[in-house]
């Protein structure tokens, strides 16, 4: 039975433009999925608006932050991803959303370049690092939210290796004191990689493992609150084996050039400080007149649309999707960004066929965290894993993503590169 045409589809189908703002995990996935399905359709246009020429695959950042990966390992060039797909990439930023005229304003550095009309808009502008107003923190810590951050950590490390190499052995631990603030997944990944790889790096500078101090500071009493207790304990044992000193239960109160002060009065030497304590939704979204929750993420319905706007989808970290079973907002994770984007692409295709969009099934099937290039922990379908099986599962998620957005060639090339690093 043919359905009666809906109001949108009753209008001439020439020039239906799907605009996607943000080319991270969510935006790139949505554009690839739509591009593959709409190849050959002259009545639908897909435009991705993203300021960077490449997607930064943030979940692979730890391998760049300490080495051995080069920056390119986390970068997916958009021109290559969309080479054979009907997706136009506009290298710019969305500066405002104008629901009344179904358009977005595009520009950068305060200069407006133009307006782009949309039939459907997908907002996927992600999140940024959140640094709390602790005195000295923003000034002295490097955050971990971009390839540039990862390179900055590498640079600071290199400077300290050179400084330490010129010092008497007794003074070296001060110069080689690395502190990571934040015992969530990102902090654990960074500290684990530091602890495993730094001893090899400093060796080439004539320095020894005993010269290093690596600490993880977490204000709450424990680390990795999203994971079961048994996995947290295993992680703590693993970090202890790697020589990481774990300091929990006291918040950072002040940071100076080479020291971190805690609320309990302790003072820690810290020549290189990394802050992995939080993230917040990309703040410009708050200026777009859409409903946001208290944390600044945009509120969405069960089909990932902005309430009151039938033609605006919001996906990925910027979206505050509430799990219908738990009532909790789903965490900022690549796995959700990718799944929301895949589902949204399907919903847009449904709407093109005049069918109703379906709710996003937000249940979590598993989560994996690495602590160094060769060790991980996590769970899937109720089964806890640690060590090599967990790291294999974590790296497999990368391979699946490369396969999905870049095809078999990219997946094979990157997998080879990754396997070399595991040795
Ligand atoms: C170090 C680190 C490790 C992580 N590890 C994991 C992990 O192991 N597993 C996991 O599931 N998740 C992990 N995450 C979280 C994961 O990376 C994010 O959840 C994911 O990146 C969200 O995807 P997104 O597309 O919503 O946003 P992003 O990937 O951040 O992309 C947003 C894009 O929007 C663009 N943009 C911003 N503003 C505008 C604008 N106004 N106009 C146009 N474009 C704009 C940005 O340039 C960016 O390219 C990690 C995050 C970090 C920082």
- What distance in angstroms lies between residue 264's CA and the mean position of ligand 1's atoms? 34
Confidence of residue 8 (pLDDT cuts 50, 70, 90): very low
Residues 354 and 410 placed together within one structural domain of the fold: no
For the chain, how many helices (H) and strands (E)?
Answer: 11, 25
**pLDDT for residue 67:** 67
Q: Look up the domain containing 416 and give its range.
A: 365-423
- What distance in angstroms lies between residue 325's CA and the mean position of ligand 1's atoms? 25
Question: Does 1 fall in a domain?
Answer: no
Report the atom number in ligand 1 closest to the C-alpha of 24: 31
**pLDDT for residue 124:** 98
- What distance in angstroms lies between residue 50's CA and the mean position of ligand 1's atoms? 12
Residues 263 and 142 placed together within one structural domain of the fold: yes
Residues 160 and 250 placed together within one structural domain of the fold: yes
The structure's pTM equals 0.93
SS3 at position 70: coil
Between CA 411 and CA 401 the distance in angstroms is 8
Q: Are 55 and 28 in contact (CB under 8 A)?
A: yes
Between CA 53 and CA 60 the distance in angstroms is 18
**pLDDT for residue 13:** 42
Structure-token pair, residue 92: 């710019």
CA dihedral 277, 322, 50, 137 (to 10 degrees): -10
Ligand 1 pocket residues where CB is under 6 Å: 21-27, 49-52, 58-59, 61, 93-94, 124-127, 144-145, 186, 282, 284, 316-317, 332-335, 337
Residues 151 and 256 placed together within one structural domain of the fold: yes
Question: Does 379 fall in a domain?
Answer: yes
User: For 102-243, where are the alpha helices, taking DSSP H only?
Assistant: 137-140, 147-165, 172-175, 185-203, 229-241
Please compute, for residue 347, the number of CA atoms within 13 A of its CA located in the half-sphere on the CB side. Answer: 26
Q: Are 153 and 276 in contact (CB under 8 A)?
A: no
pLDDT for residue 362 is more than 70: yes
Looking at 363, 390, 413, the residue that finishes a domain is 363
Structure-token pair, residue 64: 């760049």
Give Cβ neighbours of residue 397 (< 8 Å, ≥ 6 apart).
59, 334, 335, 368
Residues 213 and 330 placed together within one structural domain of the fold: no
Report the atom number in ligand 1 closest to the C-alpha of 145: 53
Structure-token pair, residue 2: 């043919």
pLDDT for residue 4 is more than 70: no
Give all strands of the β-sheet with 93-98 in edge-to-edge order: 93-98, 103-108, 111-117
Residues 253 and 300 placed together within one structural domain of the fold: no
pLDDT single digits (tens) 86-139: 999 999 999 999 999 999 999 988 888 899 999 999 999 999 999 999 999 999
Angle at 29 between CA 43 and CA 5, to 5 degrees: 35
**pLDDT for residue 68:** 63
Question: Does 78 fall in a domain?
Answer: yes
- What distance in angstroms lies between residue 363's CA and the mean position of ligand 1's atoms? 20
Q: Whose CA is nearest to atom 16 of ligand 1?
A: 334
Residues 146 and 251 placed together within one structural domain of the fold: yes
Between CA 19 and CA 312 the distance in angstroms is 10
In terms of Cα–Cα distance, which of 90, 15, 95, 8 is closest to 49? 90
Q: Whose CA is nearest to atom 39 of ligand 1?
A: 125
CA dihedral 343, 347, 350, 352 (to 10 degrees): -130
Looking at 213, 244, 277, the residue that finishes a domain is 277
Higher pLDDT, 7 or 388: 388
Give Cβ neighbours of residue 351 (< 8 Å, ≥ 6 apart).
6, 8, 120, 357
| Average pLDDT of span 48-76 | 85
Confidence of residue 293 (pLDDT cuts 50, 70, 90): very high
Lowest mean pLDDT among 33-42, 63-72, 307-316, 366-375: 63-72
DSSP characters for 212-267?
-EEEEEESSSSS-TTS-HHHHHHHHHHHHHTTEEEEES--EEEEETTEEEETTS-E
* Strand partners for 255: 260
pLDDT single digits (tens) 234-280: 999 999 999 999 999 999 999 999 999 999 999 999 999 999 998 99
**pLDDT for residue 325:** 85
Q: Whose CA is nearest to atom 23 of ligand 1?
A: 25
Confidence of residue 423 (pLDDT cuts 50, 70, 90): low
| Average pLDDT of span 294-316 | 97
Between CA 191 and CA 210 the distance in angstroms is 17
pLDDT single digits (tens) 146-158: 999 999 999 999 9
Higher pLDDT, 54 or 420: 54
Question: Does 35 fall in a domain?
Answer: yes
**pLDDT for residue 58:** 86
Q: Are 104 and 49 in contact (CB under 8 A)?
A: yes
Residues 303 and 339 placed together within one structural domain of the fold: yes
Residues 420 and 333 placed together within one structural domain of the fold: no
Cis omega (within 30 of 0) on the bond before 100? no
Q: Residue 40: give its domain's CATH number.
A: 3.50.50.60
* Strand partners for 280: 128
- What distance in angstroms lies between residue 341's CA and the mean position of ligand 1's atoms? 13
Residues 268 and 307 placed together within one structural domain of the fold: no
pLDDT for residue 2 is more than 60: no
| Average pLDDT of span 341-351 | 98
Report the atom number in ligand 1 closest to the C-alpha of 126: 27
Question: Does 83 fall in a domain?
Answer: yes
Number of domains into which the chain is organized: 3
pLDDT for residue 9 is more than 50: no
Mean of all residue pLDDT scores within the chain: 92
Relative to beta strand 267-269, strand 259-262 is: antiparallel
**pLDDT for residue 365:** 84
| Average pLDDT of span 189-210 | 93
Looking at 363, 393, 409, the residue that finishes a domain is 363
Report the atom number in ligand 1 closest to the C-alpha of 27: 25
| Average pLDDT of span 23-36 | 98
- The beta strands (E) that lie in 372-417 are given as 376-380, 383-387
Of the chain, the percentage scoring pLDDT greater than 70 comes to 96
């Amino acid at each position: 039975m043919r359905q009666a045409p809906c109001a949108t589809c009753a209008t001439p189908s020439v020039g239906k433009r799907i605009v996607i703002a943000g080319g991270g995990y969510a935006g790139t996935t949505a554009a690839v999925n739509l591009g593959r399905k709409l190849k050959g359709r002259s009545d639908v246009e897909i435009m991705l608006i993203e300021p960077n020429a490449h997607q930064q695959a943030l979940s692979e950042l730890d391998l760049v932050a300490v080495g051995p990966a080069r920056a390119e390992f986390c970068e997916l060039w958009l021109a290559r991803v969309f080479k054979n797909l009907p997706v136009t990439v506009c290298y710019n930023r969305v500066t405002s959303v104008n629901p009344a005229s179904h358009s977005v304003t595009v520009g950068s550095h305060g200069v407006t370049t133009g307006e782009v009309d949309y039939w459907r808009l997908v907002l996927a502008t992600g999140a940024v690092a959140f640094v709390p107003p602790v005195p000295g923190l923003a000034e002295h810590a490097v955050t971990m939210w971009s390839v540039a951050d990862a390179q900055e950590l590498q640079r600071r490390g290199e400077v300290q290796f050179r400084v330490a190499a010129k010092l008497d052995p007794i003074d070296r631990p001060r110069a080689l004191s690395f502190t990571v603030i934040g015992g969530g997944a990102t902090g654990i990944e960074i500290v684990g990689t530091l602890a495993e790889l730094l001893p090899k790096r400093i060796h080439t500078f004539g320095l020894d493992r005993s010269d290093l101090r690596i600490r993880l500071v977490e204000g709450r009493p424990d680390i990795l609150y999203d994971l079961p207790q048994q996995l947290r304990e295993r992680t703590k044992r693993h970090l202890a084996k790697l020589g990481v000193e774990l300091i929990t239960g006291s918040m950072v109160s002040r940071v100076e050039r080479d020291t971190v002060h805690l609320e309990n009065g302790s003072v820690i030497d810290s020549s290189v400080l990394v802050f992995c304590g939080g993230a917040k939704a990309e703040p410009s979204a708050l200026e777009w007149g859409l409903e946001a929750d208290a944390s600044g993420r945009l509120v969405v319905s069960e089909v990932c649309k902005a309430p009151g706007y039938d033609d605006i989808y919001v996906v990925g970290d910027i979206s505050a999707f509430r799990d219908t079973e738990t009532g909790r907002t789903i965490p900022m994770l690549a796995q959700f960004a990718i799944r929301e984007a895949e589902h949204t692409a399907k919903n847009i295709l449904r709407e093109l066929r005049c069918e109703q969009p379906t709710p996003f099934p937000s249940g979590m099937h598993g989560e994996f965290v690495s602590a160094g290039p060769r060790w991980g922990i996590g769970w899937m379908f109720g089964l806890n894993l640690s060590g090599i099986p967990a790291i294999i599962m974590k790296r497999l998620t990368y391979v699946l993503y490369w396969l999905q957005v870049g095809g078999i060639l990219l997946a094979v090339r990157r997998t080879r590169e990754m396997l070399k690093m595991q040795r």
